[in-house]
Amino acid sequence: MKITFLGTGEAFSERANTSILIDDRILLDCGPHTLQQIMKFEIPLEQIKLVFISHTHADHIFGLPAFLLASREDKRKEAVEIWGLKGLRDYLGDLLDMAYRKTYEDLGFEIKVREIRGQMKFNGYNFEFARTIHSIPSSAISITKDRKVTYTGDGKYSREVVDLAGNSDLLISEAYMGGLDTHSSIIDAAELARESNSKGLALVHICRKENLEKIDDAKKIFEAITVPEDLGTIEV
């Protein structure tokens, strides 16, 4: 399984907003920088079959109208699946209208917005979900096809997220800042990796003001930690 880190930053970072591409076909979150990052790899947009939106904060979804309109310009014919929590279809419809005065019907290809549930399947991949503790409803996701990758989205991890991430080959966790009720820290992410018996941990969405020396302390809890750069790739 190939994991491409299109962006690894938080909402206001010099890095691109966190967005992750799995096997060049499954997109996890779609912030304002995501389309330009995809284009750097010259990946045809029609190759991306599924977009998962963890929650509706701007740095995770505001790039989706541009992705859809660029897909229209590229003469996309195949449907795209867009998965997220309840209310996503109406939210995205409003966002399309606000951004470009467009509707779903204007796109010229089918948009299949689906509300996530406990377990789902798509194109040979198995998906499971668990809620995180965030300022708005937010979901983590695990993706399994021979290997298992778990992405937390934003939020403090819960017991359900520990179970979701169990035995992941790679856990991708936000690590925004300590001392918050609605975000995880670098130490929290290490503890989640240890508790879930994950093989590796990639830290994303780290606050631009955070002290990265905390990673040394985190490695005393869980050693196999990496901090990927924008446009970096990991194979698991």
Q: Catalogue the active-site residues.
A: 59
Q: What would the two tokens of residue 133 be?
A: 């503790």
Q: Which residues pair with 24 in a beta bridge?
A: none
Q: What would the two tokens of residue 13 be?
A: 């970072």
Q: How many CB atoms are closer than 10 A to CB 118?
A: 8
Check if the beta carbon of residue 230 is closer than 8 Å to that of residue 204. Answer: no
Place of tokens 């939020």: 155
Euclidean distance between CA atoms 66 and 47, whole angstroms: 16
Euclidean distance between CA atoms 176 and 16, whole angstroms: 14
Place of tokens 């668990």: 130
Q: What would the two tokens of residue 42 be?
A: 């010259």
What are the start-end ranges of the H helices in 171-233?
A: 186-195, 214-218
Euclidean distance between CA atoms 52 and 84, whole angstroms: 6
Contacts of 228 (CB under 8 A, 6+ apart): 5, 8, 202, 203, 204, 234
Place of tokens 């975000």: 183
